[in-house]
Amino acid sequence: MYKNIFFDLDGTLTDSSEGILNSVEYALKKLGITDYKRSELYGFIGPPLFDSFGEFFGLSEEKCKEGVKFYREYFPKKGIYENKLYDGIEEVLGKLKDMGKTVVLATSKPREFAIEILRYFNITKYFDYTATAELDGTRSRKEEVIEYALEISKAKREETIMIGDRKYDILGAKKAEITSVGVLYGFGSKEELVSAGADYIAETPRGLLDIVVAV
């Protein structure tokens, strides 16, 4: 029986693609980069921003830092609100709380952004703890976020399950030795999640509840 339910944010609780992609495009324009297709930028959703600028555009460390800085010129003012809650997610969160589960946000998004998104969608009330990255880059890796979530919630690993839409969530859960659920309604593919070793796969938010209750 899983008592502690850890949730990723982007692609798991909310469809943040518009705001993230718009923020990335703003940063790329400031960097003078125009040779790309918008569809290629979906890879930015999930991993740390700094890593993505380097991986997808081969930028130097200094340029990656500039990219992150430019991204954060746009995102807090506009991109953060170009976002929507997935249908059925609030119902799932409410039922988990009614069941007495400890619900924890475990995201690589910086704290002030993550907290504002929970507030904006009025879902802060469902979360017992919030484990996030920091703006200075501290705790940006998913495994670091999950370990921090375990620490602050005092959750036992064998009673904890991590829910996310990308391989980073699944691999982070594996490193922390906790069970994982990959969701298919977010930004990762079934192939990506299965290859990463997801213990369970959920096609819909409702499917998440079925898995958590069943196991």
Q: Which residue has the tokens 């922390």?
A: 176
Q: Which of 8, 15, 165, 169 is catalytic?
A: 8
Q: Which residue has the tokens 């998913």?
A: 142
Sign of CA dihedral 27, 66, 192, 158: negative
* Helix or strand (DSSP H, E) at 11: none
**Sequence-distant (≥ 6) Cβ neighbours of residue 210 within 8 angstroms:** 202
Taking a C-beta distance cutoff of 8 angstroms, is the pair 179, 163 a contact? no
172-185 as b/e, with b when 16 or more CB fall inside 10 Å? bbbebebbbbbbeb
Q: Which amino acid is at 150?
A: L
8 catalytic? Reply is yes
User: Which residues are marked as active site?
Assistant: 8
